[in-house]
Structure formats: C-alpha cells, structure tokens
Chains A and B, each alone.
Chain A
Amino acid sequence: MASAQVQINLPLPVLPAGWTAEKDFKPVGSLSNATDRNIEPVGPHFLAHARRKRHKRTFSEDDRIQAQASVKKIEDDDEGEISEPEDPLMLQREAKDWKGQDHYAVLGITRYRWRATEDQIKRAHRRKVLKHHPDKKAAKGGTEDDQFFKCIQKATEVLLDPVKRRQFDSVDEAADVEPPSKSETKKGNFYKLWGKVFEAEGRFSRQQPVPKLGNEKSNKAEVENFYNFWYSFDSWRTFEYLDEDVPDDNENRDQKRHVERKNQNSRRKKKTEDTVRLRKLVDDALALDERIKLFRQQDNAHKNKRRLDKEAEQKRLAEEAAKAKEEEARLAAEKEAAEKAQKADSKKAKEAAKNASKKNKRVIRGAVKDANYFHGAGDAPASQIDGALNDVDVIITKLDNEEIAALTAKLSGAKGADAIKQVYQDEVKQLIGAGKLKEGELKSLS
C-alpha cells in the first residue's frame, strides 16, 4: 500500500534519565484486534494491492466463503422486522377519514408509536407500499381500490412531518397509559404501574430526558426532583388535531372566522383540562408514593431525634450545672467547716495556752512566795512582798506563753528559795540581754 509521509511539528520528549533498553528499543503492548472489512476493488491503488496479495494464486469458492465469514457487514437486511397483523376492518378504511385513523396501526408499528424513529417509520412505510400499492394489486387482478394505500400515504405524511406528528401524538390515546387504581398499586407494583404512566406522559415533555419514577431504592433528592419536574411540567401537547374543519375560502367569511375562533377556544380549553388532569395525576401518584411517607417518617424521626437529642443535651447540661453547683456548695461548706474547725482549734489552743499560762503564771507567782519574796531568811516585810510580786509580774508581761512555760518548768525544777531566786535572776538577766529590761529595773531581784 502506498506510503504517505506525516509531518509532526510537536517535539518528542527528552529521554528520561536512567532509561535503558536492549538496542534502545522495548516493546510494551500490542495492537488491538483488527476489523475484517471488504476493501473496494476499485482504483489504481487497489490494483497494486491485488497484485501483491494474489501472487498469481487462484482462489476457490470455498476460499470465498471462508474469507467472508468474519467480514463486517455494511448493508442492513430488513429481515427480523416484526410485522404486525393487519386488522381486516382497518384495510377497509376510507382515505377521507384519515383523521380518525391510527397512523401507527396503518403502518404496523403500534409497538413503537411515539417512540418510532424516522428510520422505522420510513421502513414501515416501504413495507406497506410494497404490499399495498394499488398498481401491483391491479396487476395481480385485484381491484383498483387504492383507499388503504391512500391511508398509508397519509399516515406516512403525518408521521414523517415533525409538526403534524406532534399534533397526532398529542391525541394518540392508544399511547396513553391509564393510571392504576389505588387497589392495584397496593400489591407492591406501584413503581411498575405508575412508571409506565409517567413514561407515557413524558412524551409530551419539552425537556428531555424526563426523570424516571425510580423505585423504593431511589433517594430523597431523586424523588423530589421527579415530583418537582412533574409539578412544573413543560408540555408541547396541542389539540389542533381535533379541530373542526374550517370551510375553505369560497364559503362565508364570517362562518370561517367563527369556526376558527371556536377551534382556538376549544384548543385552549382542552389544553387547560390537560394541565389539570396531569396535575391531578401527579397528586394521586404522590399521595400513593410510599417513599414520600417514608421520607416524612424519616424526616419526623429525624426531627424527633433532633428534639430528643436537644432535650437530652439540655438535661445533661442542667444536670451538669446542678452537679457543679452542688460540688461548689460542698466545697464551700467544707472550706467553711475547715475554717471553723481551724478557728475552733486555735481558740481552744489559745484557751489552753491561756489556761496553761494562767496556771504557769500562778506557779511563777507562787514560786515568789516559795522564794520568800527574795527576802532571805525571816518574814519578808510587806514592801518586800509587794516589790517582789510587782517585779515578777513585770517579768511575766515581758514573756510569751512558751517562755512562761519554760520558766515554769525551770521553777518547778528549782528547790529552795535561793535556787528559785536564781532562776528569776537568770530570767531577768536574759531579758536584760534581750533588751526587754533595764539593769536594776527590778529592785527585788537585783
């Protein structure tokens, strides 16, 4: 085959570092399967191909069959088209009643109806023409009756004209799917039965594709989208196919205008009725749709749960707050108690200390008597007694409780007036040393 050269102006990538291959080449994959096709045995390049491929060989009939076995076909064969039986009554139709005919039945494509493609309509038409052409019928000795053939032509004219087809499809009741009764949908086939209804209604939608009814597994968004779509349905359905014939110009103009106006009104009325009908239909489906209830329940459950959760949370918070308060109170009480206890303790101790020091003071003062008021031998004169007692009182005022206690202890250990006097004198000396008394301030002990 001829070789052609391709120019590629984009640069090749730089060889990545570390790339190696034996002799600088490595296979990675392999080509996808090829398709066997017939090349056309035409033109100079084919002749060159044939020369190469034949090599003076001769091929047989068997070779032909074998070679063609896997070849891709490019022509469709019409076989496999299902042909619908023709109703004998339909075959007797008059062409002038074309408005009343079921165009899809005439062409034998009632299983497709509004779903029929342009191609299917054309093929159906051809099938019917081959069968019903009046010239062929006449040639076979039949009648010259071309009525049904005219019906076929009319059906094709309508169905191949997008505008006329919509007008017919708008009133093609055979394509309607009646909504199921309530009891029918109770048996768990809501989706199947209503799905068909909506599929049929969807043919009128300007917006395509039309969302599907779905099934029990559809999620809330899908279901909502579905009903939203149907509640704002944009329909191309029109009703001029049902118009009353307008008399042609020759007749009375007023009459013509009258019929036209009547048609306009009737179209509008039918359109309104259809909108209402559809709305009711959607209402009915919605009312029966278990999913809606389920979603509501779920919603409610969800809402309830949220409410309960909220309440529980509040309760928990309240409880926590209460607990915290209690704890606080408890701690406060404890603290107070502790403080009280501490206060009480210190009071007691103070009291005890007070008592102890009172006792000690008594001991100290008593010791003065034991020391015969520092008078030596003999009864001490009253002045001596006063002076000694005053001096000892001075000492006591200079001492704290502990020192008093210590002094008491020393005094208890001292036997005899001199020893006692000595203890006092030592105490005085100490107080003088601490700067609390002046030398000679206490006459009785100097």
Chain B
Amino acid sequence: MSAENDPAQRVAIGISFGNSYSSIGFTTGEGRAEVIANEDGDRQIPSVLSYVEGEELHGGQAKTQFLRNAKNTVAYFRDFLGQEFKSIDATPCHESAHPLEHESTIAFKVRDSAEDKENDITVSDITTRHLKRLRNSAAYYLGKEVNAAVITVPTNFSDAQKEALNKAAKDAGIEVLQFINEPVAAVLAYDARPEAKLADKIVVVADLGGTRSDVAVVASRGGIYTILATLHDYEVTGLKLDQVLIDYFAKEFLKKHKSASDPREDARGLAKLKLECEAVKKALSIGTSANFSVESLVGGIDYTASINRTRYDLLGNKHFSAFSRLVLHAVEKAQLDPLDITEVILAGGNAHTPKIASTIANAFPETTTVLAPSTSPSAINPSELSVRGASIQASLIQEFELEDIEQSTHPMVTVTPHLSHAVGVLCISGDESNGVFHAIVDAETPLPVRRTAIISTPREGGDVLIKLAEGLRHIKVTKPEPKTKKEKAEDDSEDDSEDESDEEDELREKTWKVSNVLSEAAIKGIKKGGKVEVQINIGADLGVNAIYREVGGKGGVRGIIAGEKAANGSA
C-alpha cells in the first residue's frame, strides 16, 4: 500500500465538480462542513482553465479570459468525461475552446505553453489540471497536503464517466474515496445539521445549474436514502436565463444606439454581455434591481443600464415555469403526488433566484416545505449543498480502507427490498366504523426495519383489538362548487387558462385505503387512559414480528406473520 493510500495518512476533502462551477469543502473537528474559498476568495470556483503565454489561469481569473483569449480558454467540460465525441453536446463551449474528437476521446486544441503551438489537451487532462488547482487551493487553506476526496456526480453519470473522472483525479494526486450522487449530497447536507431531526420523508432535490437541470425524488427513511426517480434536462438552464438578460440588454442597447451593430453578433461583445448578464442575474437574487455596465460593448460604445427584479421575473417566467413543470414531472415519474412531498430542496446556483423558489412553492401544496434562500430562512446556500454533502461523507469514510469502502458500497449491500405499501394499524375515528388506517412504517422503507408506535385506547380502557394492515395512499379530490355564470364570465375575460385556474380550486387531500389486513391481536384489561405500544419488525424476507403491550403494563402479546419468501421456504 502506498503512503497516500494509507487511511492514517489521508487528508480528505469534499469536491463538487460541475460543468460551470466547482467547490471544495472539508469537515471541521466539530463535525461541521465548511466550504473553502480559493485564493481569489471564491467558494463557487468557475470550472474554467485558460492559458496565457504558458501561464495557467483557473476559476474566476480564467473565466474573464472569455473576453480576449476565448480560444485558449476551456470551460464546460465535466460532462464530456468518459464520453464519445458523438454523444457530447458542444453547445456551451461555443464561446470558448471547442471540443474535438481525439482518438477515442475528446480534446481541446489550446496553446497551453509559452511556445507558439497548439496542443491537444484531452478532457481527462484538463480535468486533472482543474482538480489539481482545486486540491492546491484546499491544501493552501488547510495548511496541509490533500490526497483524497469524495466527489459528487449527477445521478446519470455512467460507470465510464466515473472511471474517467477517477483516473483524472488520481492523476491530480487525489484518491477518490467515493463518488456520491449530487442530490443525495444535498439531502445529507441538510440532515447533517445539528438541529435536524431524523424523520421519514420524501424529498425532491431540484437542481438548476448552469448547463443542465436535474431533479431527483428521494425517499428518506430513518436516515437511509433511496432515489425513486430522476429527470435530467438540458433546456432549462442557467445559461438560458443569462441569455434572457443578454437579449434584453442587447435590445435596449440597440434601441438607444440605433446605428450601432448588434453586440450579440460580435464575439467580444457577446462575451462581455455574457459575463455582465450573469453578474446582473446574481445581483437580482439579492437586490430588487441591478445595474448593467460594460465598457466598449460594441464599436467602442460604453453601455450602462439597470433592470429591476420584476422585469427579470417576467422575462424569465417561461423558463421558471418550465422548471416547475419538470419538478412536477419527476414527482409523477416516481408515481407520487405533490401531497406526498415533504420537502423540496432547491439546489444549484439558480436556486438563489426568488422567483424560481416562489414558482416551485406555488406548484406544491402548503404542506411541502421549499428549502431555498428566499422561502426559508434556515436554507443552506444552494450552491454549496453538493460540496457540503461530499465533505460530510468524506469525514465519515476517510478512515476506511479503499477495499472496505468498495465492499460497503457493493450492490450486495445496497440492493435492498423496499416496502411496496405502508404498514400500520386501524384506529377508530368519528363515523369510520371500519377503522381508519394510520401508518407506522411508510411505503418505500428499506428492509429490515423496526418501528414503534404508541397508540391511544378507548376512554374507558378495557380490551382492544389491534389490526395490522397495509394501507394505500389515496388522493381524494373534491371538485369545487360550480361557479356561477357571472363569476365564470369574469374569469374568461381575465385569461384563457381557464382549466388551470379550475384545477387550482379543487381540494386535494391525502387519505388512506386499507388494502390488506395482516393480523389481529388483543390486549386485554387496559387501564383507563392507558396506551398501547406496538413494535413492528419487518424482515428482508417480508416476515413481520410484532410485539404489543400496554405502556407500563406487564406482559404483552407477540405474533409472527410469515413472509411470502419464508412461506415458500426460500428464505
């Protein structure tokens, strides 16, 4: 074992490596994740490298080279790793070095040395160089060499892509302890906060980045995470939002300078617009208005203007609602209803945009918490969710042998049966003489599982019946009273999205249907005001072991429901 593979010698960080930005972080001795600022003071470090006369610029400094040195500036390359040329989308690289087919991989032609010569730099190489810079920044901040990392990747990153990234990291002197999925890192970042309570919930992570947006529906059960559905989209992106502002300011500019040429048609002008508009967009996340100011936008004309947030909200609305539809679509893909969603975690840089958060919040019922800076004061910076999750995971596993990590993440460990339906008890409520279902273990809970419930008894105590059953979640839709003619007419004149507003009016509730009774048990002679404790243990073989007792009472009842597998004798 080489020294750097020795867990005792390891210094591990968390890395979030995006096409647009990367971040580095670590976990403090007190177990708190912290995001590291690089030498420029940036925590969101542009994933950009630029070469000027043999000098390598990185991050924010490299990004400004879009203006004068675009050809030797490499950006938006993460997704190219481990891909064939025919399957990459070259669009984001249009204003910087273009990807080329290079043997079986992808490269950029860049003059990266003092010599007047262009070299082919493969995606792997450029990634290695980028990761080296990140590693150095972390080492500089931590005051010690960094040699290991947990790196976040999108859920659709293929094995080939991970392999390529792993190799590039190794070449950068980083031992990848584990790749973890970006949305899961975001959930972990929230769950690792000291004030977080362990609860069963369904979380949607909606990540609106620079070149893509990704949505994942995650079941969180006793601190174990299972991804139920994902969606990836390359149409709703941060770059598109920048474009909205680019078009707006270009048109404003042309209105003011009638004889000037369109700055979007000019490479330099476009690059300036791009940089400035991204800055304006970010400013509009905090302020209600922002200034645009570019020297010599085109033809030597300086241009300053301002925009208020309302205007931007209007301009971007098409994209905001497309993003919201995407999120709802993912929920549908998981065969869930918005009412099933406990939390929506908004991630990615654009989650700072208030209108995006409010659009999502409007698409979900009030029972769903939307975690974004503008909707929740306790939200974590959405740009930092991935890196925080990675840093926490790094601290959890940095003492493990690689072999150990590999075995622990082996499908023999991760592939787990999940409950198809909730399991719970039937209680008495109002006129529901057949009993209302109350869940004790939710659907999509990995097995084995143990859950305990404390249940009330009739006022006088006595003998009670405990029926264990499977429950099906059912969405009860109550149609509103038909509108009176007059109201209807007024509605029509307002807009033609009549059916949409109709949908909003209907009342939707989450209810349960009892699908399958599993067992019956009796607890006798319960004291007045007594309570019953039910403990359910469900095995991976679907066998149920239930223990019932009066809280504080003696004895109790124990029962076993054979699992299908056990019944077939194949367990």
**Shortest Cβ gap from A185 to chain B (Å):** 34
**Shortest Cβ gap from B16 to chain A (Å):** 14
Known: A4-B222, A138-B98. A42 touches B185 (CB 8 A): yes
A28 near B517 with CB under 8 A, answer yes
B224 near A39 with CB under 8 A, answer yes
Verify if A252 is at the interface (C-beta below 8 Å from B): no
B421 near A75 with CB under 8 A, answer no
**Shortest Cβ gap from B500 to chain A (Å):** 11
B557 near A30 with CB under 8 A, answer no
B420 near A11 with CB under 8 A, answer no
Q: Give the total number of A-B pairs whose CB atoms are below 8 A apart.
A: 320
B464 near A3 with CB under 8 A, answer no
Verify if B412 is at the interface (C-beta below 8 Å from A): yes
Residues of A within 8 A of B417 (CB): 34-37
B198 near A2 with CB under 8 A, answer yes
**Shortest Cβ gap from A229 to chain B (Å):** 16
Query: Which residue of chain A is the closest to B429 with respect to CB atoms?
Result: A10
Contact with B along A309-328 (1 / 0, CB 8 A): 00000000000000000000
Residues of B within 8 A of A47 (CB): 396-397, 408
> Which of the listed residues A4, A34, A71, A125 has the most CB atoms from chain B within 10 Å of its own CB?
A34
Verify if A46 is at the interface (C-beta below 8 Å from B): yes
B86 near A34 with CB under 8 A, answer no
A59 near B410 with CB under 8 A, answer yes
B418 near A36 with CB under 8 A, answer yes
Residues of A within 8 A of B392 (CB): 43
**Shortest Cβ gap from B234 to chain A (Å):** 6
Contact with B along A9-53 (1 / 0, CB 8 A): 111111110010101111111111111111111111111011101
**Shortest Cβ gap from A5 to chain B (Å):** 5
Verify if A54 is at the interface (C-beta below 8 Å from B): yes
> Which of the listed residues B228, B410, B519, B532 has the most CB atoms from chain A within 10 Å of its own CB?
B410
Known: A14-B462, A15-B465, A67-B415. A39 touches B410 (CB 8 A): no
**Shortest Cβ gap from B529 to chain A (Å):** 11
Query: Which residue of chain B is the closest to A75 with respect to CB atoms?
Result: B156
Query: Which residue of chain A is the closest to B325 with respect to CB atoms?
Result: A118
Cα distance A135–B93 in the bound complex, in angstroms: 9
For the complex, would chain B's binding face be called helix, strand, loop or mixed by DSSP majority? Answer: strand
Cα distance A119–B548 in the bound complex, in angstroms: 50
Cα distance A87–B523 in the bound complex, in angstroms: 76
**Shortest Cβ gap from B323 to chain A (Å):** 12
Q: Which one of A126-134, A218-226, A417-425 is at the B interface? A: A126-134
A28 near B520 with CB under 8 A, answer yes
Residues of B within 8 A of A53 (CB): 412-413
Verify if A6 is at the interface (C-beta below 8 Å from B): yes
Verify if A63 is at the interface (C-beta below 8 Å from B): yes
Query: Which residue of chain A is the closest to B537 with respect to CB atoms?
Result: A3
Picked from A15, A43, A63, the residue with its CB within 8 Å of the CB of B411 is A63
Residues of B within 8 A of A19 (CB): 465, 520, 522
Picked from B224, B226, B463, B564, the residue with its CB within 8 Å of the CB of A15 is B463
Query: Which residue of chain B is the closest to A118 with respect to CB atoms?
Result: B325
Picked from A13, A64, A136, the residue with its CB within 8 Å of the CB of B426 is A13
Verify if A434 is at the interface (C-beta below 8 Å from B): no
B518 near A37 with CB under 8 A, answer no
**Shortest Cβ gap from B471 to chain A (Å):** 11
Q: Which one of B282-290, B361-369, B442-450 is at the A interface? A: B442-450
Verify if B227 is at the interface (C-beta below 8 Å from A): yes
Contact with A along B515-537 (1 / 0, CB 8 A): 11111111110000000100000
Residues of B within 8 A of A13 (CB): 426-428, 435, 458, 464-465, 467
**Shortest Cβ gap from A66 to chain B (Å):** 8
Residues of A within 8 A of B464 (CB): 11-15
Cα distance A131–B548 in the bound complex, in angstroms: 64
Query: Which residue of chain A is the closest to B566 with respect to CB atoms?
Result: A30
Picked from A40, A59, A122, the residue with its CB within 8 Å of the CB of B233 is A122
Cα distance A25–B98 in the bound complex, in angstroms: 71
Q: Which 8 A-B pairs have the closest CB atoms?
A: A45-B223, A25-B559, A34-B417, A10-B427, A67-B411, A15-B463, A41-B409, A50-B408
